[in-house]
Amino acid sequence: MIANNIFRAIGDFFTNILFIPYDAFRSMDGWWISNAVNVVLVIIGFIALFYWLGQLSKFKRTGDLS
C-alpha cells in the first residue's frame, strides 16, 4: 500500500499543483497568448543551441577536444 500511496501522491502533485498554469492557458480566448509559452521555449532552445555550437567551434579551433 505504501508504493501505491507514493504514486498517488506524485500524480496528485502533478495534477493539482504543477498543471495549474496550463489550466489558465486552456481558459484563454486568444491563440497568440496561449502559445506564448511555446514561443518563449523555442527561443530559449535556439539561444542555447547557438551558444553550444559556438563553444564547440571555439574548442575545435584551440584543439582542446579532450
Domain that holds residue 50: 35-66
Co-location of 3 and 22 in the same domain: yes
Co-location of 3 and 20 in the same domain: yes
Q: How many domains does the chain have?
A: 2
pLDDT in tens, the chain (66 residues): 688 899 999 999 999 999 888 888 777 777 787 788 889 999 999 999 999 999 999 988 888 765
Co-location of 25 and 40 in the same domain: no
How far is residue 39 from each of residues 7, 28, 34, 36, 45, measured CA to CA in Å? 32, 16, 10, 5, 10
Co-location of 39 and 19 in the same domain: no
Co-location of 6 and 25 in the same domain: yes
